[in-house]
Amino acid sequence: MARRVAVIGAGAAGLCAARHLSARPDQFVPTVYEQTDRVGGTWVYTDRVGTDEHGLPVHSSMYKNLRTNLPKEVMAFPDFPFDSSLPSFVTHQEVLKYLEDYTDHFQLRKHIQFLTKVDTVKPVTGAGQTLWEVTVSSVEEPEKITTQQFDAVMVCNGHFSEPYIPEIPQASYFRGISLHSHDYRSPTPFTGMDVVVVGAGNSGLDIALEVSKVARRVVLSHDKELVVSKLPRNLTQSTGIKSFRSPRTVEFKNGEELNADAVIYCTGYSYSFPFLTRECGVCVERGRVSPLYKHVVHTTHTTLSFIGVCNKICPCPQFHLQVQFAMAVLDRSLVLPSKEEMDKEVERDYSERLESGMAPHHAHVLGNKQWEYHVELARLAGCQPLSKALHSLHASVLSERSTDLCGFRNSNYSITGPDTWCKESVLIEQD
């Protein structure tokens, strides 16, 4: 009998789950629950902050002028390229259109229940197997609650919605504008201001650059190695914030001070799975979800999987492999090691990270390790590995980005063969 699989979320990860599950109707029947009225998750831009028109917290962290920081050639699902007429670095609207096209191409809409929020997921054990009781409510009529049983659950709810702001002494002293990048939409409100952008991750760098076009001055405050790229003259770097000395004074750890009008915290997000009941046995810390074998499959309840937990990756190609890996566990074409062995591997992976100097909240950061991880996932899932072109193209783009933050998006790339790519000739942009 076909296995009933509940998929939580219709962002890129949930759509990918639906695409692969629905391709094998004799074995799997997906039901995708999506709390909003459309597919695309974080790529659904809205001017709103706080709550949406149904009173739910705004899920998306997208901002108005965002263009991707990866070329479409490495962003795409391996079985569905972007429109070839687009440049490599596309707008968020174009990514959303891409995900909508993916949805329609694979006829996924019929599997999605929109405006339906998953409230609880609970394992029920009987007759030697675990089933999942999933309770959902209608977003428009919250008193409409239904519970259904499933053979498996794929959690695809994203992890860029729950802002994380580190504690900084006297932060409440500050009387200027203070916001997290989750609520950042456009640079306009910062026109003429002195702005501190905290954090030099993707969002911090990107937002600092766009704010510097209208602000008087932007200080990028972070404790990482200095950004080496050429930057606009009114964008400088300082260390992390030490404290707030007065309603407007930001004091940095290196002793510098700035009279700031606004502080934008680009300090990342926390994992959050409010619908998982305690019986699920999932431990959620700021930067770690455990115990997940290969960052995907729960080691006790192997029919509970998580797609898209990793960081510093090529998301869609990775989701494509993680979904097939989770499916190989479900259809038993992959025989997993014992729970003890899996737990041991999960702990080994984590302690190796700590020993190599990574922060405890970097439990799922892959970066350059993603490529061997992808090879491993494809081997375990028995599916086709990713093109080798992705690895070298991705590495090349990261290196270009690190030295040319302002200009790296002007290049176009193309994949020229199974393992090859090229950079197209670059035109100089005229102002």
Ligand X SMILES: *[C@@H]1O[C@H](CO)[C@@H](O)[C@H](O)[C@H]1NC(C)=O
Ligand Y SMILES: Cc1cc2nc3c(=O)[nH]c(=O)nc-3n(C[C@H](O)[C@H](O)[C@H](O)COP(=O)(O)OP(=O)(O)OC[C@H]3O[C@@H](n4cnc5c(N)ncnc54)[C@H](O)[C@@H]3O)c2cc1C
Residue 189: both structure tokens together? 């409100």
**Residues 189-228 close enough to bind ligand Y by CB under 6 A:** 203
Residue 276, contacted partner among ligand X, ligand Y, none, CB below 5-8 A by kind: none
Going by C-beta distance under 8 Å and a sequence separation of 6 or more, which residues neighbour residue 292? 298, 299, 306, 309, 346
69 versus 237: smaller Cβ distance to ligand Y: 69
Q: Considering only residues 138, 161, 234, 300, which one is a binding residue for ligand X as defined by CB under 6 A? A: 234
Question: Does residue 410 touch ligand X according to CB under 6 A?
Answer: yes
Question: Does residue 213 touch ligand X according to CB under 6 A?
Answer: yes
* Total residue length of the chain: 431
**Residues 37-96 close enough to bind ligand X by CB under 6 A:** 85, 87
250 versus 307: smaller Cβ distance to ligand Y: 307
**Residues 103-162 close enough to bind ligand Y by CB under 6 A:** 117-118, 156-158, 160
Q: Considering only residues 4, 5, 7, 9, which one is a binding residue for ligand Y as defined by CB under 6 A? A: 9
d(CA 262, CA 255): 19
- Interface with ligand Y by CB under 6 A: which range of 6-14, 80-88, 216-224, 404-412? 6-14
Q: How far is the CB of 38 from ligand X (least distance, A)?
A: 27
Residue 381, contacted partner among ligand Y, ligand X, none, CB below 5-8 A by kind: none
Question: Does residue 405 touch ligand Y according to CB under 6 A?
Answer: no
d(CA 385, CA 7): 24
Residue 411: both structure tokens together? 């290049």
Residue 42, contacted partner among ligand X, ligand Y, none, CB below 5-8 A by kind: ligand Y
Residue 262, contacted partner among ligand Y, ligand X, none, CB below 5-8 A by kind: none
Q: How far is the CB of 297 from ligand X (least distance, A)?
A: 40
Q: How far is the CB of 47 from ligand Y (least distance, A)?
A: 15
Question: Does residue 412 touch ligand X according to CB under 6 A?
Answer: yes
Query: Residue 413: how many CB atoms within 10 A of its CB?
Result: 20
Q: How far is CA 276 from CA 120, 147, 273, in A?
A: 6, 14, 6
d(CA 421, CA 390): 8
Question: Does residue 209 touch ligand X according to CB under 6 A?
Answer: no
Question: Does residue 282 touch ligand Y according to CB under 6 A?
Answer: no
40 versus 176: smaller Cβ distance to ligand Y: 40
Query: Residue 1: how many CB atoms within 10 A of its CB?
Result: 7
Q: How far is the CB of 84 from ligand X (least distance, A)?
A: 8
- Interface with ligand Y by CB under 6 A: which range of 55-63, 246-254, 341-349, 355-363? 55-63
Question: Does residue 268 touch ligand Y according to CB under 6 A?
Answer: no
Question: Does residue 407 touch ligand X according to CB under 6 A?
Answer: no
CA angle 144, 118, 94 (to 5 degrees): 115
123 versus 317: smaller Cβ distance to ligand Y: 317
Question: Does residue 216 touch ligand X according to CB under 6 A?
Answer: yes
Question: Does residue 426 touch ligand X according to CB under 6 A?
Answer: yes
Task: Give the footprint of ligand Y on this chain (CB under 6 A).
Answer: 8-14, 33-36, 41-43, 59, 61-62, 68-70, 75, 117-118, 156-158, 160, 203, 275, 308, 315
Give me the residues that bind ligand X (CB under 6 A), please.
Answer: 85, 87, 212-213, 216, 232-234, 410, 412, 424, 426-427
